[in-house]
Chains A and B, each alone.
Chain A
Amino acid sequence: AQSVAQPEDQVNVAEGNPLTVKCTYSVSGNPYLFWYVQYPNRGLQFLLKYITGDNLVKGSYGFEAEFNKSQTSFHLKKPSALVSDSALYFCAVRDAGGAGNNRKLIWGLGTSLAVNP
Chain B
Amino acid sequence: DVKVTQSSRYLVKRTGEKVFLECVQDMDHENMFWYRQDPGLGLRLIYFSYDVKMKEKGDIPEGYSVSREKKERFSLILESASTNQTSMYLCASSSYSGRSRETQYFGPGTRLLVL
Contact = CB atoms under 8 A, between A and B. Distances in A.
Contacts of B105: 46
A105 B31 CA distance: 12
Contact of B103 (A41, A46, A107, A110): A46
Contacts, number: 52
B24 interface: no
Which one of A44, A45, A109 has the highest number of Cβ atoms from chain B below 10 Å of its Cβ? A44
Contacts of B56: 101
A25 interface: no
Interface string A33-46: 01010000111111
B54 to A, nearest CB: 8
Nearest to B101: A51
Contact of A107 (B4, B43, B102, B111): B43
Contacts of B4: 43
B45 A104 contact: yes
Given A43-B106, A103-B31, A90 B42 contact: yes
B104 interface: yes
B106 A104 contact: no
Nearest to B96: A103
B81 to A, nearest CB: 21
B107 A103 contact: no
Nearest to B88: A41
A43 B94 contact: no
B23 to A, nearest CB: 11
B1 to A, nearest CB: 11
A55 to B, nearest CB: 18
B41 interface: yes
Given A108-B42, A109-B42, A32 B109 contact: no
B31 to A, nearest CB: 5
Interface of A: 32, 34, 36, 41-46, 49, 51, 90, 94, 101, 103-105, 107-110
12 contacts: A32-B102, A34-B103, A34-B104, A41-B109, A43-B106, A43-B109, A44-B43, A46-B104, A49-B103, A101-B54, A103-B96, A107-B42
